[in-house]
Amino acid sequence: MATVVLFHHALGLTPGITEFADELRQAGHVVHTPDLFEGRTFAGLEEGMGYVQEAGFGAVIERGTRAVANLPVDLVYAGFSVGVLCAQKLAQTRSGARGTLLYHACVPLSEFGGAWPDGVPVQVHGMDADPVFVGEGDIGFAREVVESAGHGELFLYPGDRHYFADRTLPSYDPDAAALLLSRTLAFLTSVA
């Protein structure tokens, strides 16, 4: 059993994120889902990212850091899209991480200190034609993180959807989401 902190995407803590967390719980894992947006949810990526920009990326990341302050250090950090900022920062800067799962996004190693911590495995998941993950360059950062980690995997799924694993959104892709979940559960078993 792993203890996971799952950070939501730019639409907020949607029912789709909660359902994903519940699937991990059903497999026996403990999952925390901090609300980085203090109860706000958004209908679209543009609106959600507008909120993140207004609140400030640093403020959102700080909320993620505060959310784990009273938790043990041997956590698996997971994040969807903008939630990757919190997951990746904590994996790189808070000692004791068991592993990291980055969905739909990745940032340069230099953003949080320039190095991936020794012995912390990582998986990165994204669609091969996602205009955000591929078009904005996250795929290159993902390759950098995976290579630096030593125990890293980059999984590319066919398609152009950004939030393909949130079953409550029109961008949901059931086949890709099922494979992502299967790979996530195998990863969690390997680090538990």
Q: What is the number of structural domains in the chain? A: 1
Mean pLDDT of 144-157: 96
Residue whose C-alpha is closest to residue 84's, from 67, 101, 62, 65: 101
Q: Structure tokens of 82?
A: 């903008």
Q: Is the pLDDT of residue 39 over 90?
A: yes
The pLDDT value recorded for residue 187 is 98
- What CATH number is associated with residue 174? 3.40.50.1820
Average pLDDT, the chain: 96
Distance in angstroms (rounded) separating the CA atoms of residues 157 and 142: 14
Q: Is the pLDDT of residue 45 over 90?
A: no
Distance in angstroms (rounded) separating the CA atoms of residues 8 and 31: 12
Query: What digits encode the pLDDT tens for the residues 76-89?
Result: 999 999 999 999 99
Mean pLDDT of 21-29: 98
Q: Structure tokens of 17?
A: 């994120």
- Structural domain including 123 reads 3-191
- Sequence-distant (≥ 6) Cβ neighbours of residue 59 within 8 angstroms: none
Query: What digits encode the pLDDT tens for the residues 101-145?
Result: 999 999 999 999 888 999 999 999 999 999 999 999 999 999 999
The pLDDT value recorded for residue 119 is 95
The pLDDT value recorded for residue 114 is 84
Residue whose C-alpha is closest to residue 103's, from 77, 121, 80: 80
Distance in angstroms (rounded) separating the CA atoms of residues 187 and 148: 18
3-state secondary structure the chain: CCEEEEECECCECCHHHHHHHHHHHHCCCEEECCCCCCCCECCCHHHHHHHHHHHCHHHHHHHHHHHCCCCCCCCEEEEECCHHHHHHHHHHHCCCCCEEEEECCCCCHHHHCCCCCCCCCEEEEEECCCCCCCCCCHHHHHHHHHHHHCCEEEEEECCCCCCCCCCCCCCCCHHHHHHHHHHHHHHHHHHC
The pLDDT value recorded for residue 189 is 97
Q: Is the pLDDT of residue 75 over 90?
A: yes
Percent of the chain with pLDDT over 70: 100
